[in-house]
Amino acid sequence: MTTPSIPPMGQRDKLLQMSNVDKVFNGNVVALSDLNLTVNQGDFISLLGPSGCGKSTALRLISGLMRQTSGQITWEGGTNSGDIGVVFQEPTLMPWATVEQNVWLPHRLRGKSLFEVRDQILWALKMVGLEKFQKSYPRELSGGMKMRVSIARALVTEPRLILMDEPFAALDEITRHKLNNDLLMLRDKLKCTVIFVTHSVFESVFLSDRIVVMAARPGRVSSEVTVDAPYPRTEEFRTSAGYADLCRKASDALHGAMNEHGERASA
């Protein structure tokens, strides 16, 4: 798969637009109010915000798993099945199925046989470094490897947009760093667009070029922090003064969002 490089921010084509999006649950829980967000092709966006500010709800609306109460979500050129890959906090693998069968799932749901999509499955597993584990079962894998399978499953349809809902939050720090590095390498190879939900200022700065900071009650965009550090980002970036400055900036923005309602910052 050959793909052109990602243009600099400001020169990217639009992928989708969320305009004046509201989501109300049970008639009275206002999860999102007047959410506006433009997502461009190649963006790596982190949604950062306090618990309950509607980050997961925003992802579910974009994924089409749920419908907004009002407002529009518009894809440039429309959207097809397979355009979106989703990775959740838990790997959500079928324990009775092999790695290969788990990664097959999105194609299987579209009526394709394992034989038909075997090459795509192998490609996705290679992307996450697990091509030798096709026939393994989830119980034989570490937590980090299970998450890689989950990422391969999201990649297997070659989606235009990958949605990740706190995918590494349950992993230990070392595995998390390793998967952060690998995710950036993957993004560099695939030139894909990613929206990544996290509670971690450090993770959002390391990964993204745009941090969308959300405020709660009701959930909305509070501010946006641009992370203009060049990719590839390495351990050198993680220990640089520039990284520390950007973390401070993102942390201030997060505290600002929390103070909009007098909440206590915990990130």
Ligand X SMILES: Nc1ncnc2c1ncn2[C@@H]1O[C@H](COP(=O)(O)OP(=O)(O)OP(=O)(O)O)[C@@H](O)[C@H]1O
Residues that bind ligand X (CB under 6 A): 25-26, 29, 31, 49, 51-57, 219
Shortest approach of ligand X to residue 250 CB, angstroms? 16
Q: Round the CA-based radius of gyration of the chain to a whole number and report it.
A: 18
Question: In the complex with ligand X, which residue's Cβ is closer, 165 or 209?
Answer: 165
3-state helix/strand/coil string of the chain:
CCCCCCCCCCCCCEEEEEEEEEEEECCCEEEEEEEEEEEECCCEEEEECCCCCCHHHHHHHHHCCCCCCEEEEEECCCCCCCCEEEECCCCCCCCCCCHHHHHHHHHHCCCCCCCCCHHHHHHHHHHCCCHHHCCCCHHHCCHHHHHHHHHHHHHCCCCCEEEEECCCCCCCHHHHHHHHHHHHHHHHHHCCEEEEEECCHHHHHHHCCEEEEEECCCEEEEEEEECCCCCCCCHHHHCCHHHHHHHHHHHHHHHHHHHCCCCCCCC
Quick one: 53 or 141, whose CB is closer to ligand X? 53
As measured in angstroms, the least distance from the Cβ of 202 to ligand X is 16
Cα separation of 190 and 184, whole Å?
A: 10
State in angstroms the smallest separation of the CB of 213 from ligand X: 12
Distance of closest approach, residue 36 Cβ to ligand X, in angstroms: 17
- Least distance (Å) from ligand X to the CB of residue 161? 18
Decide whether 57 or 98 has the Cβ nearer to ligand X: 57
Please say which residue, 56 or 157, places its beta carbon nearer to ligand X: 56
Of the pair 99, 254, the CB lying nearest ligand X is at 254
Toward ligand X, which CB reaches closer, 51 or 142? 51
Least Cβ distance, residue 1 to ligand X (angstroms): 32
CB closer to ligand X, 51 vs 92: 51
- Alpha-carbon distance of 248 to 244, in angstroms, equals 6
Shortest distance in whole angstroms from residue 222 CB to ligand X: 12
Give the total residue count for the chain.
267
